[in-house]
Chain A
Amino acid sequence: MSTVPVEVTPQQYKTEEHPIWCPGCGDFGVLGSLYNCLAGLKVKPKDLVVVSGIGCSGRTPGFIKSYGFHSLHGRVLPVALGVKLANPSLEVIGVGGDGDGFAIGGGHIPHAARRNPDMTYLIMDNSTYGLTKGQYSPTSPAGYQAGSTPYGSIEQPLNPLAMLIAYGASFVGQGYSGKPRELTELVTQAIEHKGFAFVNVISPCITFNNTYKVVPPRLKEVPQEHDVKNRAKAFELALDTQSVWLGVLYQNPRPTFEQEVSHVIEKAQASSPPRLEAIFAEFS
């Protein structure tokens, strides 16, 4: 990551485009924390790429002074992987919602997790489809009543944290949009983590699934003594769905995808001169 010597303020990362979110949306808290993280880490806008999918969260790149890619519904991770592989020196942050990430895009998460590219993936989890007016999402509780489930949802919600720990993500954390200071600290750790860092942010939808009253009583800080390298203990926390655990549940660095790629290239080049003519010679 590149740094600049001068003082950097969160304000410097704001664009002229004003967020289209409803007043009171949790995503404002996530965006504010992101500005703080970027300023704190002095990330150069020219070296930052924010990739998004579709949904309320999808508009985030437009609000951050940097490079951005507003891609397709559910396709944040493939696009972000392409960006990172093209230029590993870029800081890559993927943002999405629970529908974008866990429903339509759910098939990409295990593969991003096991490849371990050095990027951050932030989910703004409001447990609803806000942009299509409140249908149930993969993280909505059973019984959730809305347009497409007038008699209540009959599906169990998925567990993002347990899923990511199972898939082999090297960093798994959770934050709450209503606790911006803690969230800034968590996202900063995620960005600094070398590898695939997943952060689930509980970010209430004030219009269609207002959980501002029900979430806070369930919030619990990950205990100080929790060993973030202990995967089984991390599972224990993740499986306790009565509580909303905040902080880093699991962090265990291993070589990144880009590092492994360069090893493959070194191995291949050890046996062959890097010229097209040398390849032609193999087919004569």
Chain B
Amino acid sequence: MTTDYVFRVGGEGGEGVISTGEMLTLALARAGFQIYTFRTYPAEIKGGHANYQVRASDKLLLSQGHWLDVLLAFNEEAYQKHIQDVRRNGGVLIYDTDSYQPPILEGVIYYGVPLTSLATEKIGIKLTKNIVSLGVLAHLFDIPLKVFEDLLKERFGRKGEVVVQKNIDALHVGAEYAKQIPRQDRIQLGSGSRGAKHLVLSGNESLALGAIASGCRLYAGYPITPATDIMEFLARELPKIGGFVVQTEDEISAIGVVLGSSYAGKKAMTATSGPGFSLMTEMIGLAVVAEIPSVIVDVQRVGPSTGMPTKTEQGDLYLAVYGGHGNCPRIVMALTSVEDCFYGIMRAFNLSEQFQMPVVVLSDQYLGHRKATVPVPDLNQVPVIDRRKPQAEELAGFRRYRFTPDNISPMSIPGMEGGGYVAEGLEHDEVGYPAASDHENHLRSTQKRYGKFGQIHQIANDLVRLYGNPHPEIGIIGWGSSEGVIREAVEIAQSKGYSVGALHPKILYPQPIAKLKEFIEGTKAVIIPEVNFTGQFATLLRKRFAYDFIQLNKCIGLPFTPQEIVDKIEEVAAHVHSSRRSHPAAV
């Protein structure tokens, strides 16, 4: 029997909910389990409801899961919000008896612990109640106490011996108390069987590491939830490897610094979220026309405007693909998992260098802020590509924007003798001189810039992932952070006997036309699940394919669960089999 449990901690923001979840996560990872976290938190720093969920298993985890095996609720609000997610066939509720007395629900196991009074009476510090609760969890579910002790030493070591000891005492108080709880559940963790060495990373951390591996040595950005931790990670790590982070005065400046740096030969990137990305669109146009390699990460949150800053959405695809004025080709990629954040950002840097154009990389709050165990990255998996530089003979009468068969011109770098040119935001000729009144040249130059798409379509076809039946009756086309959820849903649906398969492109624009066509052709129905209101990817695909795609849209600031996808598959399957024609699109 494989281990696969979902834990959730809920309570008032600022009372240690997130740190309890983080320590539980690290402990489970160190105990040898695969982990997959999910967190929602209030937009305020103090107060409001916060929760942190972690799923632990021996097998590769694809989603945050659905039903809770253990809910640790610090207050009544947490109980009210989450009790409906607790498994009714042996799920466990652990609650603070000093805070509230929950009504008894059929099928749920109740363990009441006086967390607050144990913390205040035995330790003398009320705030240690979350550490007490970790001791309870450790004893009940057989997670080695030693792992928690080590974590407490690392976490509080800087605050001195006394603080460390108080926390270790709190841990033991919880474990001691748990010994007297009559066990009714059958949840047992012990040590996991995860093999090779793994790192515990969030999507944002994985992305930042990948950027360093890509050769990025300058980051410019402006703090914005949920992208800020990319900047903070790089601010700490980049200087160790000779790079630097500039916190600019706004997002326009951030992308301006990126373009200046890349132009001058140092790979650079910026990361933001919707509001900042909106500000950057004019600069994206400049990067297109001046042909400057650049990487822009958008960790999407709920919009429009300030929206719901701490909640997830896939709502920026239109902006990523079409943002800016004029005919403005760029590459849009979507990251799919914590591991893919590492390799995906490396591919983004490579594509920007190879094709001398901006690459927009879409992540989201769900992916950026969740942690997972990932194998130690293989630095050779995605070899680093650098831009084409002029050969000696090309520097005589150098033409920076020379028309070439593959539409890619050699790019000189300041400091290179004979390579001088003006990176030009006006329409320009092959040399780079403004050609704002040359009508024929504008067409030729636009063709050159779009001409790069030919090669990118091929790369996009190679970066498609297929799950389940490759020639299914019911197809699913997803994008971005939904990959794991869809994959898990496909596995569940297949085990129920449905003919289902999923296609998941990593490059969303330009699209992997050949692969999409091949996949769509054999299906009876295609579902496109998106965490947005209108179905932005479905709309893009309808421009390409005369096909009646079925949309599945979720627009409540939360990601899909596998069950929601499975439900849709079953609904569509029933319809396909009764009508034997494709399902009408439901918007």
Contact = CB atoms under 8 A, between A and B. Distances in A.
Interface of A: 17, 45-49, 51, 54, 59, 61-62, 65-72, 75, 77-87, 89-90, 107-108, 110-111, 261, 264-265, 267-269, 271-276, 278-280, 283-284
Contact of A269 (B205, B239, B433): B239
Contact of B415 (A90, A265, A273): A90
10 contacts: A68-B423, A70-B424, A71-B423, A78-B248, A79-B260, A83-B414, A85-B260, A87-B266, A271-B240, A284-B200
B201 A283 contact: yes
B566 to A, nearest CB: 33
B218 A272 contact: no
Contacts of A264: 239, 244
Given A71-B425, A82-B258, A279-B241, 18 more contacts: A46-B420, A69-B263, A75-B252, A75-B283, A77-B256, A78-B255, A78-B256, A78-B257, A82-B256, A82-B261, A83-B260, A85-B257, A87-B414, A89-B415, A265-B242, A274-B241, A280-B209, A280-B377
Interface in B372-426: 376-377, 379, 412, 414-426
Contact of B212 (A45, A68, A90, A279): A279
A45 B379 CA distance: 38
Which secondary structure dominates chain A's binding surface? helix
B250 A83 contact: no
Interface string B412-446: 10111111111111100000011000000000000
Contacts of B268: 82, 86
Which secondary structure dominates chain B's binding surface? mixed
B257 A82 contact: yes
B485 to A, nearest CB: 24
Interface of B: 197-201, 205, 209, 212-213, 218, 220, 236-237, 239-244, 246, 248-250, 252-266, 268, 282-283, 286, 290, 376-377, 379, 412, 414-426, 433-434
A83 B263 contact: yes
A111 B253 contact: yes
B433 A62 contact: yes
Contacts of A71: 256, 259, 286, 423, 425
A85 B266 contact: yes
Contacts of B423: 68-71
A76 to B, nearest CB: 9
A111 B247 CA distance: 10
B414 A72 contact: no
A79 B244 contact: no
B260 A80 contact: yes
A283 B205 CA distance: 10
A82 B218 contact: yes
- A-B pairs, top 3 by smallest CB distance, nearest first, are A82-B260, A78-B256, A268-B239
Contacts of B377: 280
